[in-house]
């Protein structure tokens, strides 16, 4: 998982927007990239690899957000709301809306 954390940290550092919203866009982009790579890969559909990798990505995101939350507490004395949207659920809902409208 350290490789995922490292890649996400680098993307956040390169971004001109390290706000919560900016980080959420980076995480959503990473999720789409993982989904594209794994659906294109030559893997049996039922092996669960996509779900495993998405779970690892979610864990990496949570770790980074814990770090940002700790940094914010250290600098402001306040704690940000730790309720992050579940991007996998949001993505699935968006996909089903598109499929239902066709």
Q: What is the DSSP track for 26-88?
A: HHHHHHHHHHHHHHHSS--GGG-HHHHHHHHHHHHHHHHHHHHHHHHHHHHS---------HH
The CA distance from 60 to 90, in Å, is 18
The CA distance from 28 to 47, in Å, is 23
Q: Kindly report the pTM of this predicted structure.
A: 0.64
**Series of mean pLDDT values for 10-residue runs along the chain (102 residues):** 88 91 95 87 68 92 90 53 50 50 52
Q: Where are the domains of the chain?
A: 2-100
Phi and psi at 66, nearest 5°, equal -60, -40
């Amino acid at each position: 998982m350290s490789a995922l954390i490292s890649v996400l940290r680098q993307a956040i550092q390169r971004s001109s927007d390290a706000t919560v919203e900016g980080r959420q866009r980076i995480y959503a982009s990473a999720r789409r990239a993982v989904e594209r790579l794994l659906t294109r890969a030559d893997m049996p559909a039922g092996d669960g690899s996509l779900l495993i990798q998405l779970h690892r990505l979610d864990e990496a995101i949570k770790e980074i957000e814990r770090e940002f939350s700790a940094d914010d507490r250290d600098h402001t004395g306040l704690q940000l709301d730790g309720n992050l949207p579940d991007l996998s659920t949001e993505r699935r809902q968006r996909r089903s809306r598109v499929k239902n409208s066709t």
